[in-house]
Amino acid sequence: MSSHHGHGHGHGHDGPIAIGQNAARIVIGTVVALGVVVLAGLVILWPSQQTVDIPLPFQNASGGAVVTEAATVVGQSIGPCGSPSAGRVFGGAPTPPPMSSYDCTRSVIAIESGPNAGTKTLFEIAPGPGQPDLRVGDNIRVVRGTDASGTTIYGFDDYARGFPLLAIVLVFALVIIVVARWRGFRALLGLLFTFAVVVTFLLPALLDGKPAIPVALVAGGVILYVVLYLAHGVSMRTSSALLGTLAAMLLAAVLSWATIRLTHLTGLSEEQNTNVATYLQHVSITGLLLAGFIIGTIGVLNDVTITQASAAFELAALDPDSTRRTVFTATMRVGRDHIASTVYTLVFAYAGGALPLLLLFSVAGRSVNDVLVGDAVAIEIARSAVGGIALALSVPLTTGIAVILARPFGTLRAGRTAGTSRADSTARPARTGATPRVARTEGMPRSARTEGTPRSARYVDDERTEPNPRTAPPAPPRRSGGAHRSRD
């Protein structure tokens, strides 16, 4: 009995664990090698320190950057326009217009920051589309500039949203931390890191004229390495999700390039891209589209791959006797459900952003075909399709990597050579039906009959060796304790 146990114990560590360690070494080596490539790309593509002139529409009168100040609407009335105090700084009441003209909304603004804090200005706003609908008590941002004579003037910039945005962001962070706890806090740190990468590397590198695809891939790689390991910890399941996400992101880059090339998308249907093409002529609009396609797929890929890796490891841990095919099939069922729901999320998110454009097209009287193949809508269709393809292919890819790590090759074969042959624990019945399917040793205690035979010995890869209760003959009855002692 002891010899069986010792032999089985030795094979249990020499066979499967050695193969599992080899698989782990390959994964770790691949992750480290790719990490070195990403860092090298970061160094090579790091933006230079050259400065870019501020485009004309974003300059103030002196050619510098536009400066905004905090202000509040303290008074409002409807009266004739044309007051000399409009946009000027004053301390008491605004000067009335020298002559009667058309009426407009006259808003008295209290300036709360900058060199003219404590003074007032007047905004005269004629009714019409695109004009701000100011109310007394509104907190706004005003642009401070100078006119041709050097006099300070103010104009409306936007509503002040600092406090409401800060409040909703704090609620978001609180809910994430309360529900996900420490892991949620680490995920929030990952979001801050992502923002830092975009601001300090991605945007300056694109502005510097660096090639868009390598820049987007390096930025995505840096983000994924930090975010995944920070949020989910350093483990084989995280590494398998990382490899699956990196492979899917590379696939998304290739698909994005091919799609934009084949469909001749320009991006010039969007006002922001037109402004970039006009004032930043050294920046490639096609490159911006490519970078947007690639970066846009990272979030959804991260969600799917980490879920697949976790599902594979959990299913493998729940049933140590399950085969790789069983774990892969079960995990893919989870993945298919995830794909079905995430594809809707992906498409609806892009469709929601394009609703104003679709509304304009709906009243333009153009055919559906013209609307769909137009540059503006075609970009959203292409972006959704590329993201969906990368999403779908990332599921089997990540699942396969995770299953190999969770159930290394050779794990289920170990029991076959662990000192007890397969026939010792689970014998097949003879063709004549005379030999019972499950052979028991007469008079031997149950613990002795199973000693040295791991449960995995009953399974070899995908072969099914469990007895069928409908066809297998019943096992001989157990002997009583007295009979057992008499035989000893």
CA dihedral 296, 299, 302, 305 (to 10 degrees): -70
Average pLDDT, rounded, for the chain: 77
The SS3 of residue 127 is coil
Cβ atoms of 204 and 215 closer than 8 Å: no
The dihedral region occupied by 145, where left means phi > 0, alpha psi between -120 and 50, and beta the remainder, is beta
Measured CA to CA in angstroms, residue 399 lies from 10, 213, 237, 306, 464 at distances of 30, 27, 10, 10, 23
The pLDDT of residue 487: 41
Pick from 268, 269, 256: which is nearest to 385 by CA? 256
Which backbone phi and psi does 355 adopt, to 5 degrees? -60, -45
Sheet holding 139-146, edge to edge: 120-125, 103-111, 67-80, 139-146, 152-159
Return all residues near 355 (Cβ < 8 A) that are at least 6 apart. Answer: none
Return all residues near 362 (Cβ < 8 A) that are at least 6 apart. Answer: none
For 231, counting Cβ atoms within 10 Å of its Cβ (0-12 exposed, 13-18 middle, 19+ buried), the class is buried
The 10s digit of each residue's pLDDT in 413-434 is 444 444 444 334 344 444 444 4
Q: Name the pLDDT band for 222 (thresholds 50, 70, 90).
A: very high
The whole-angstrom distance between residue 319's C-alpha and the CA centroid of its chain comes to: 30
**Least confident interval from 46-55, 170-179, 311-320:** 46-55
Q: Name the pLDDT band for 50 (thresholds 50, 70, 90).
A: low
Which backbone phi and psi does 483 adopt, to 5 degrees? -65, -35
Q: Examine the pLDDT at 412 and tell me if it is beyond 70.
A: no
Q: Examine the pLDDT at 110 and tell me if it is beyond 80.
A: yes
The SS3 of residue 336 is helix
Q: Name the pLDDT band for 61 (thresholds 50, 70, 90).
A: low
In the chain, what percentage of residues exceed pLDDT 70? Answer: 78
Q: Name the pLDDT band for 456 (thresholds 50, 70, 90).
A: very low
The pLDDT of residue 470: 44
Tokens of 91: 């301390």
Q: Which residue has the tokens 């989910």?
A: 232
Cβ atoms of 101 and 141 closer than 8 Å: no
Residue 76, beta-bridge partner list:
107
**Least confident interval from 56-60, 89-93, 192-196, 280-284:** 56-60
Q: What span, in angstroms and rounded, lies between the C-alpha atoms of 404 and 408?
A: 5
Q: How many other β-carbons are positioned within 10 Å of the β-carbon of residue 7? A: 15
The 10s digit of each residue's pLDDT in 129-146 is 778 889 999 999 999 988
Return all residues near 191 (Cβ < 8 A) that are at least 6 apart. Answer: none
Q: What span, in angstroms and rounded, lies between the C-alpha atoms of 19 and 21?
A: 5
The pLDDT of residue 409: 58
Tokens of 192: 């801050």
Q: Which residue has the tokens 């791959």?
A: 305
The pLDDT of residue 145: 85
Which stretches of 354-459 are DSSP H helices? 355-362, 368-373, 375-406, 422-425, 446-450
